[in-house]
A = this chain, B = another copy of it.
């Protein structure tokens, strides 16, 4: 061990360091914080991985839920047809009258589409579908009326009532019960989805805040020493903001990866589903722009969480 004490006389004391933080000093400090915070994360790879996993999950879950809802809405659109109103016209209404009636309906604001089913089409369909082929052979003439299949836009109730009152219409079939069930299910699903998404977003915020808080608690000695040595509040806070930023960014990347994995797992049943729908409905994932938005948002969230936690917890050790 070297026990020699340097005997050169020290140089004259420098003047009191004034607040002359030059641009260069500012850059030095930011680089220092950037590297030290990254180095810190790398120095504890296990702890960092664990924290990132928690954050990644917390971010991926609301995203997945949002995707699910978005896709479900597309699916529900295809099922909407079930709410169509069938108007049976008086038997014997002639073809031009039927077409005129259909045109009148199409012009209404609360009608999305009208399909005309002539008595002949009706009979063909009836033969094919109902298994009464033999029974219907005994019919000597076509007893079926023309039918208008009306797709309502918005609330179908008043439309159905008006059709029922129309003199040209014999009978209106509108499965109110089925409609009601579908509505109830959709409302329930939506409400449930909102509640769950809210809970998940809250959980993500809690996790980030808690992580940064514990990070600060674990480095309280470092914070105290920096403050003792005359570090400004901003300087002390900076490494935490940077690590919050890194946490957020990496967690965002991780959540995107998780979403990708889930998409791969769901790919096969999804393909079967879209095939069942004659590819009328296509499931979609996140686009590039959405991915970038997720990354930016998670980085911002990390920074914000760190800022809140740091502002709240880095006050100790300072006299009033």
Contacts and interface: CB of A to CB of B under 8 A. Distances in A.
Given A50-B206, A54-B203, A199-B258, A272 B131 contact: no
A144 B199 CA distance: 56
Interface string A62-82: 001000100000010000000
A23 B192 CA distance: 53
A195 B181 CA distance: 28
Given A170-B131, A180-B276, A210 B51 contact: yes
Copies of this protein in the assembly total: 2
A58 interface: yes
Contacts of A249: none
A185 interface: yes
A35 interface: no
Contact of A213 (B47, B130, B171): B47
Contacts of A218: 214, 217-218
A270 B61 contact: no
A21 interface: no
A75 B184 CA distance: 12
A100 interface: no
A51 B144 CA distance: 69
Interface string A294-305: 000000000000
B61 A200 contact: yes
A88 interface: yes
Nearest to A86: B131
A124 to B, nearest CB: 15
Interface string A130-144: 111111101100011
Contacts of A275: 184
B144 A187 contact: no
A31 interface: no
A171 B136 CA distance: 14
Given A64-B196, A195-B265, A57 B272 contact: no
A1 B195 CA distance: 61
Interface string A259-289: 0001001100110110111000000000000
A215 to B, nearest CB: 8
